[in-house]
Chain A
Amino acid sequence: MKPSESRIWEPQCECMDRAELEQLQLERLEATLTRVVRHVPFYRRRFEELGFDPDEFRSLEELRKLPFTTKADLRENHPYGLFAVPLRDVVRVHASSGTTGLSTAVGYTRNDMRTWSTLTARVLVAGGVTKEDVVQIGFDYGLFTGAFGLHQGAERLGASVVPVSSADARRQVGIMRDYRTTALVTTPSHALNVADAMIEMGVNPASLSLRHGLFGAEPWSESMRKEIEDKLEIVATDNYGLSEVMGPGVAGECLERSGLHLAEDHFVFEVIDPETLQPLPDGQVGELVITTLTKEAIPVVRYRTRDLTAILPDRCACGRTSRRMARVKGRTDDMLIVKGAKVFPSEIEAVLFEVEGIAPHYQVQVDREAGVDRVTVLVEVSESIFFDEMKRQRKLEETIVKRLAAELGVTVDVKLVGKKTLERSDGKARRVVDRRPRE
């Protein structure tokens, strides 16, 4: 295989002429609207209430007139209410990871499974993986889509898959060494745990075969990427997906690492202002909204992902013609209003990485006292600092408070905690604990 062939899995789709792509999107969108009206009572009712006749739908721009689908809609119709096919046509059921609140069921037909593995193969290839690679999957195998999604893609492209699941970090390192793993697929926070375990175990990353890391399922900063790359001596790429529209494979970085390529032949992407709900122009940060174009089991129209990003329209140097999305900045639900200022956990993370002597694990706790949001950032520090004299701890706390104030424009409280005291669920870090009363 020539290198140019290995870099792009489906050049006929990923490098499609834009006019051709728009025709394809329109055809698939019109067919999807016709199908949801016929097979999903929820959409039939929604469209009727709005007086929208899918036969009148004429252009991609008209998508903005259609109602959104939200997590609440999925929950109200749980488990199978939004399925557009009878259950006997469904060959797989997964659930959203439940990062926020209850999980909801999603289903896949045989064709959906084929599309899904093709799209995760695209992401893996974009991240540098070839059929020669040994791919270690460090996601939790189960209802969560991360593990199975990328597993299938890796098999599809012919790589050797090691399904370790979300085992503890030391075990990951052991297997990585023994099986000569070349690519690690997991969450960025788990990748850091693995890197730390490697140091604890005295394993020199240069002695391993590991070359690539494909991380997703939670937002992570550039500083975190640098830390992971330095510690594991790999090239790390970001990928994005959500089970509500499919799972991983929705978007992924190529080795240029300047945004995540969107699978625009299978989804339509929009960015809206989360407050006014109006579409935003390319380049502006807002909430990502996704409409599926080929999903058979659960087509979704204008799903509000609650992920904050921007669409980058300019051409990437890699040769793909797809537009890209910026790395996810955070979730709309994670956005905090502290004394009138908008604060994202990712901004806090970026600051923490620049402070010497602290571990990159943190948690943001939000309380409301007398109508005012009160934010406390818990930061894990190494034992040596934690058990050190109070004076040094104080000094570190002050440094972090000052840096955060300079970056965020507001003052938040900082509390140092011991290593590994913050909770980790399925290797997926819980970054924000919101204890404010719900309206």
Chain B
Amino acid sequence: MLRLRNVDAGYGALTVLRRVSLHVNPGEIVTIVGANGAGKTTLLRTVAGLVRARGGELVFAGAAVTRLRTERIVALGCSLVPEGRQVFAPMEVRENLLLGAHVQYARGRKDEVARDLERVYGLFPVLAQRARQLAGTLSGGEQQMLAIGRALMARPKLVMLDEPSMGLAPLVVKDIFGIVKRISEEGTTVLLVEQNARSALQIATRGYVLETGRIVLQGTAEELLSNRDVQRAYLGSDLDAENRVAT
């Protein structure tokens, strides 16, 4: 589905990603685990074509996308749900969702949009209830659902989620992860960036650990959950307690 080989990327004089190689197979939920500033968001933005790769190659759905513009990448079936939701606050929920369908219009599949809308309402009943409400009046969790729903309106093969649980209450976070899992079960491949590593690894097939722009570990979610470095750095294992036991 997605393959990166030795991708370097950054902003201005700053190199953020260093020869990142990773792949996402169809049907997988792959998560990128890493601390703040490790380069997780840059990685997703590079795949989406919002940041230009300086080196290496990106292949999506069999097509070389290294030098493609964002619109082309979206049209190929790769959608990004950006960090911090970024819904259009002064517009209705339904209008926000329809904006996500522009790719379907461009593909000449206008008649399918209504069905896609129903599918999104099925996934997020609360959005159906609030269809005519302005997006800016929604709660944080509802806005996140709207952002995901809007991405799904493009009928993506791969949906990339950047910190979907950020700033949400624990119960809402649980809902969001449940929804990500359902999206995957319904046939959309997921690339998930999350600070909440434990929750992400619990639903993921595989994961990569990104540290200062470099991948230091990769493996199945199970392997990463039982890796001690991952436990210490991202799962909040109590190092002091370990030392007390050790001495």
Q: Which residues of A contact B (CB under 8 A)?
A: 20, 23-24, 26-28, 30-31, 34-35, 38, 55-59, 85, 88-89, 109-111, 114, 294, 296
Pairwise interchain contact A294-B219, C-beta atoms closer than 8 A = yes
A35 to B215, CA, bound (A): 9
Pairwise interchain contact A27-B21, C-beta atoms closer than 8 A = yes
A191 to B5, CA, bound (A): 48
- A-B CB proximity, top 9 nearest: A89-B228, A27-B21, A55-B18, A34-B214, A31-B215, A58-B6, A34-B216, A111-B223, A26-B21
B226 close to chain A: CB less than 8 A: yes
* Beta-carbon nearest neighbor of B55 in chain A: A58
B23 close to chain A: CB less than 8 A: yes
- Shortest distance between the CB of B230 and any CB in chain A (Å): 10
Of the candidates A20, A38, A89, which one forms a contact with B216 in the assembled complex, judged by CB atoms under 8 Å apart? A38
Pairwise interchain contact B242-A30, C-beta atoms closer than 8 A = no
| Residues of the B chain whose Cβ atoms lie less than 8 Å from the Cβ of A59 | 6
- Shortest distance between the CB of B157 and any CB in chain A (Å): 18
| Residues of the A chain whose Cβ atoms lie less than 8 Å from the Cβ of B5 | 23, 26
* Beta-carbon nearest neighbor of B229 in chain A: A85
- Shortest distance between the CB of B12 and any CB in chain A (Å): 19
Residues A27 and B23 in contact in the complex (CB < 8 Å), given A34-B215, A38-B216, A114-B223: yes
A35 to B217, CA, bound (A): 8
B218 close to chain A: CB less than 8 A: yes
B19 close to chain A: CB less than 8 A: yes
- Shortest distance between the CB of B37 and any CB in chain A (Å): 17
Pairwise interchain contact B219-A88, C-beta atoms closer than 8 A = no
Pairwise interchain contact A30-B227, C-beta atoms closer than 8 A = no
* Beta-carbon nearest neighbor of B209 in chain A: A31
Pairwise interchain contact A23-B228, C-beta atoms closer than 8 A = no
Pairwise interchain contact A23-B23, C-beta atoms closer than 8 A = yes
Interface readout for B1-38 with A: 1 if CB under 8 Å, 0 if not?
Answer: 00101100000000000110111000000000000000
| Residues of the B chain whose Cβ atoms lie less than 8 Å from the Cβ of A34 | 214-216
- Shortest distance between the CB of A357 and any CB in chain B (Å): 55
B246 close to chain A: CB less than 8 A: yes
| Residues of the B chain whose Cβ atoms lie less than 8 Å from the Cβ of A85 | 228-229
Residues A28 and B218 in contact in the complex (CB < 8 Å), given A55-B18, A57-B19, A58-B6: yes
| Residues of the A chain whose Cβ atoms lie less than 8 Å from the Cβ of B226 | 110-111, 114
* Beta-carbon nearest neighbor of A19 in chain B: B3
- Shortest distance between the CB of B214 and any CB in chain A (Å): 5
| Residues of the A chain whose Cβ atoms lie less than 8 Å from the Cβ of B21 | 23, 26-27, 30
Taking A109-B227, A110-B226, A114-B226 as given, write out 8 further A-B residue pairs in contact, using a Cβ cutoff of 8 Å, ordered by the A residue number.
A23-B3, A24-B23, A27-B23, A30-B6, A31-B216, A31-B218, A85-B229, A89-B228
| Residues of the A chain whose Cβ atoms lie less than 8 Å from the Cβ of B229 | 85, 89
- Shortest distance between the CB of A34 and any CB in chain B (Å): 5
A114 to B218, CA, bound (A): 15
Pairwise interchain contact B227-A111, C-beta atoms closer than 8 A = yes
A89 to B228, CA, bound (A): 7
- Shortest distance between the CB of A43 and any CB in chain B (Å): 14
Pairwise interchain contact B227-A296, C-beta atoms closer than 8 A = yes
Pairwise interchain contact A111-B219, C-beta atoms closer than 8 A = yes
* Beta-carbon nearest neighbor of A22 in chain B: B5
Interface readout for B215-246 with A: 1 if CB under 8 Å, 0 if not?
Answer: 11111000100111100000000000010001
Residue from A24, A27, A110 whose CB has the most chain B CB atoms within 10 Å: A27
